[in-house]
Amino acid sequence: MIEFRDVHASYGGGLPVLRGVSFTIEDGEFVAFAGTNGAGKSTTMRLINGLLKPDQGEVLLDGTPTTQLKVSETARRVGFLFQNPDSQICCNTVHDELAFGFKAQGLLDDEAEGRIESIASILKLDLSADPFLLNRGSRQLLALASIAVMETPVLVLDEPTTGLDYHECCAVMDLIGQMHEKGATVVMVCHDMEVVADYAERLIVMNAGQVVDSGPTFTVLRNFSTVETASLVPPQIVGISLACARRDPGLAGTPVASANTLDEMVGALEAAAQEGRRSA
């Protein structure tokens, strides 16, 4: 469990970046964070993995404040994906990069080697390749693989899909989805609300260093004041559904007015068309 209790944070005592943030994330949840550039999302991620300590308030990992945990203890619980894979990749081969976490913890044994080989083959990564000669999408995938291979109970991901094309984005999100299905708690900052809508169960929205909304993803994305305050762009199907409900208040309560996904919207319109044919 991850718990923030009235957390205030800044970099080196400068301008306050977080101003009283509180939330709880239960084990096994998939939670996304959204908000504009500068809202405090990345800072929140850094607090979870203990890279940054709060000025005031507490960040608790399974009940223990991060201030009382050693870096190695936090690292065993929390896998962290930086916004930029180049901030993370530090080895000369893909194999060494994937083995880095195990080595650092003195855990590089046959089982670890097995896991490294298996994840590399799933993601079609060449173990002997030089990470810095890979393209951006593959570097992102490698950075993610190097934390996924550690199978930490918590994954903290800062904009895992930024700058990736569609196929690369799918590869990255599929892997994250699989980790979540295996039981990992996933905490992800993401600007792409289509990705958030497809994967996250809960959405926490931040603005100017504070949490402005938190709840089931679609409930939050359908909240007009949240969307306005945090300048979110809701997923397009939600946008279409809301626009139709605004234009015809008579649609309230119909499947079209509550459709969140492509399948739901197509289904609602097919049903409406059948209904129309029957009454005609």
Instruction: Give the footprint of other proteins on this chain (CB under 8 A).
Output: 35-38, 135-137, 162-169, 191-194, 231-233, 235-237, 239-240, 243-244, 247-248, 251, 256, 262, 265-266, 269-270, 272-273
Nearest CB to other proteins, comparing residues 119 and 237: 237
Query: Is the CB of 175 or the CB of 256 nearer to other proteins?
Result: 256
User: Could you tell me the smallest distance in angstroms from the CB atom of residue 168 to other proteins?
Assistant: 6
Measured from the CB atom, the residue of 150 and 169 that comes closer to other proteins is 169
CB of 233 to other proteins, least distance (A): 4
Edge-first strand listing for the sheet containing 16-25: 16-25, 2-10, 56-61, 64-65
Name 106's Cβ contacts closer than 8 Å, sequence gap at least 6.
none
CB 83 to other proteins: min, Å: 9
Angle of helix 110-122 relative to helix 94-104, nearest 10 degrees, comes to 140
| Rounded-to-integer distance, Cα 108 and Cα 116, Å | 10
Distance in Å, CB of 17 to other proteins, minimum: 12
Contact 238, 211 (CB under 8 A): no
Cβ-based nearer residue to other proteins, 62 or 165: 165
Host H or E run for residue 228: helix 224-229
Distance CA 107, CA 109 (A): 6
